Chains A and B, each alone.
Chain A
Amino acid sequence: MKSPNGNHLSVRGALQPSDGDPLHGAGSPIAATKRLRPGARGALFALIAALCLGVAATAVVLAVGRSEPRASAGESAQQASRQTIAAIRQRPHIVFRHMGMGDDFGTIALAPLSAPAGSRARADAQCARLYVSADRGICLGGSYALGGLYRGYVLDRDLQPQHSFPLTGLPSRARISPDGRYGSVTVFVTGHSYADGAFSTETTLLDMASGTTIGHLEQFSVERDGAPFWSIDFNFWGVTFARDSNRFYATLASGGKTYLVEGDVAERRARVLHENVECPSLSPDNERLAYKKRVERDGVSQWQLSVLDLATMVETELAAETRNIDDQVEWLDDQHILYASRDPGQVSEHIWMLAIDGGDRPRLLIPDAASPTVIRP
Chain B
Amino acid sequence: MYQIENLGKLLKSRRAASASWPAVSRNVVFLGLTSLFTDISSEMVSTVLPLYLVFALGMAPLQFGIIDGLYQGASALVRLAAGITADRWRRYKEVALAGYALSAVCKPALILAGSAWPVIAAIIALDRAGKGIRTSPRDALISLSSPPQRLGTAFGVHRALDTCGAMLGPLAAFGVLALAPGAFDTVFVVSFCAALLGLSLLALFVENRPPAGAPPQTAVSLKAAAGLLGKPGFRGLVLAGALLSLATVSDSFLYIGLQRRLQLDAHFFPLLYVGTALVYMLLAAPVGRLADGIGRKTVFVGGYTLLLIAYLALMLLPPVLPSLFVYVVLLGLFYAATDGVLMALASTALPAGLRTSGLALLTTATALARLLSSVLFGLLWTWLDVQGAVLLFSAALATALVATVGMLYRAQGIEP
Tell me whether B348 and A9 are in contact (CB under 8 A): yes
Contact (A231, B382) CB under 8 Å given A30-B94, A60-B186, A199-B65? yes
Residue in B25, B174, B180, B189 whose Cβ sees the most chain A Cβ within 10 Å: B180
Tell me whether B55 and A45 are in contact (CB under 8 A): no
Complex formed: what's the CA distance from A17 to B211 in Å?
10
Q: Which residue of A lies closest to B141 (CB)?
A: A14
Nearest CB of B to A11, in Å: 5
- Interface of chain A residues 1 through 58 with chain B (CB within 8 A): 1-4, 7-17, 19, 21, 24-25, 28-30, 33-34, 36, 41, 44-45, 48-49, 52-53, 55-56
B208 / chain A contacts, CB cutoff of 8 Å: 24-25, 28
Q: Which residue of B lies closest to A193 (CB)?
A: B252
Contact (A197, B72) CB under 8 Å given A45-B205, A63-B186, A347-B57? yes
Nearest CB of B to A144, in Å: 4
Tell me whether B190 and A60 are in contact (CB under 8 A): yes
Nearest CB of B to A194, in Å: 7
A348 / chain B contacts, CB cutoff of 8 Å: 58
Q: Which residue of B lies closest to A7 (CB)?
A: B415
Tell me whether B252 and A192 are in contact (CB under 8 A): yes
Q: Which residue of B lies closest to A141 (CB)?
A: B55
Q: B195-203, B317-325, B326-334: which one contacts chain A?
A: B195-203
- Interface of chain A residues 190 through 242 with chain B (CB within 8 A): 190-197, 199, 202, 231-233
A99 at interface, CB cutoff 8 A: yes
B266 at interface, CB cutoff 8 A: yes
Complex formed: what's the CA distance from A148 to B328 in Å?
21
Tell me whether A63 and B149 are in contact (CB under 8 A): no
Tell me whether B97 and A30 are in contact (CB under 8 A): yes
B54 at interface, CB cutoff 8 A: yes
B374 at interface, CB cutoff 8 A: yes
Q: Which residue of B lies closest to A255 (CB)?
A: B382
Tell me whether B213 and A128 are in contact (CB under 8 A): no
Tell me whether B351 and A9 are in contact (CB under 8 A): yes
Tell me whether A60 and B352 are in contact (CB under 8 A): no
Complex formed: what's the CA distance from A29 to B89 in Å?
13
Q: Which residue of A lies closest to B63 (CB)?
A: A326
A146 at interface, CB cutoff 8 A: yes
A197 contact from B71, B179, B205, B207, Cβ within 8 A: B71
A29 / chain B contacts, CB cutoff of 8 Å: 94
Tell me whether B148 and A144 are in contact (CB under 8 A): no
Tell me whether B48 and A149 are in contact (CB under 8 A): yes
Contact (A19, B26) CB under 8 Å given A190-B68, A192-B269? yes
A166 contact from B174, B251, B267, Cβ within 8 A: B267
Q: B236-244, B288-296, B403-411: which one contacts chain A?
A: B288-296
Complex formed: what's the CA distance from A193 to B208 in Å?
33
Nearest CB of A to B29, in Å: 11
Q: Which residue of A lies closest to B176 (CB)?
A: A60
Tell me whether B61 and A188 are in contact (CB under 8 A): yes
B370 at interface, CB cutoff 8 A: yes
Complex formed: what's the CA distance from A142 to B214 in Å?
56
B378 / chain A contacts, CB cutoff of 8 Å: 196, 232-233
Complex formed: what's the CA distance from A172 to B50 in Å?
13
Nearest CB of A to B89, in Å: 9
Tell me whether A67 and B181 are in contact (CB under 8 A): yes
- Interface of chain B residues 186 through 223 with chain A (CB within 8 A): 186, 189-190, 193-194, 196-197, 200-201, 203-205, 207-214
Interface size on B, residues (CB 8 A): 99
Tell me whether A144 and B174 are in contact (CB under 8 A): yes
Tell me whether A52 and B55 are in contact (CB under 8 A): no
B51 at interface, CB cutoff 8 A: yes
B386 at interface, CB cutoff 8 A: yes
A56 contact from B193, B201, B292, B374, Cβ within 8 A: B193
Tell me whether A45 and B349 are in contact (CB under 8 A): no
Complex formed: what's the CA distance from A257 to B152 in Å?
48
Tell me whether B148 and A10 are in contact (CB under 8 A): yes
A64 at interface, CB cutoff 8 A: yes
Tell me whether A63 and B50 are in contact (CB under 8 A): no
B178 at interface, CB cutoff 8 A: yes
A148 contact from B65, B90, B213, B270, Cβ within 8 A: B270
Tell me whether B193 and A28 are in contact (CB under 8 A): no
Q: Which residue of B lies closest to A150 (CB)?
A: B51
A188 / chain B contacts, CB cutoff of 8 Å: 61
Complex formed: what's the CA distance from A3 to B93 in Å?
28
B47 at interface, CB cutoff 8 A: yes
B213 / chain A contacts, CB cutoff of 8 Å: 10-14
A233 contact from B186, B267, B374, B382, Cβ within 8 A: B382
Tell me whether A13 and B211 are in contact (CB under 8 A): yes
B278 at interface, CB cutoff 8 A: no
B3 at interface, CB cutoff 8 A: no
Tell me whether B212 and A33 are in contact (CB under 8 A): no
Contact (A52, B196) CB under 8 Å given A1-B416, A189-B266, A195-B374? yes
- Besides the known contacts A145-B178, A195-B371, 5 further A-B residue pairs in the complex with CB atoms under 8 A apart: A4-B149, A8-B413, A9-B348, A14-B210, A14-B213
List the interface of chain A (C-beta within 8 A of B). Answer: 1-4, 7-17, 19, 21, 24-25, 28-30, 33-34, 36, 41, 44-45, 48-49, 52-53, 55-56, 59-60, 62-64, 66-67, 99, 105-106, 126, 128, 141-142, 144-146, 148-150, 166, 168, 170-172, 188-197, 199, 202, 231-233, 255, 326, 342, 345, 347-349
Subset of 25 A-B contacts with CB under 8 Å: A2-B416, A4-B149, A14-B212, A15-B145, A17-B209, A21-B207, A30-B94, A44-B204, A49-B200, A56-B193, A63-B186, A106-B55, A128-B55, A141-B55, A145-B174, A146-B174, A146-B178, A148-B270, A149-B47, A149-B51, A149-B174, A171-B54, A195-B371, A197-B71, A347-B57
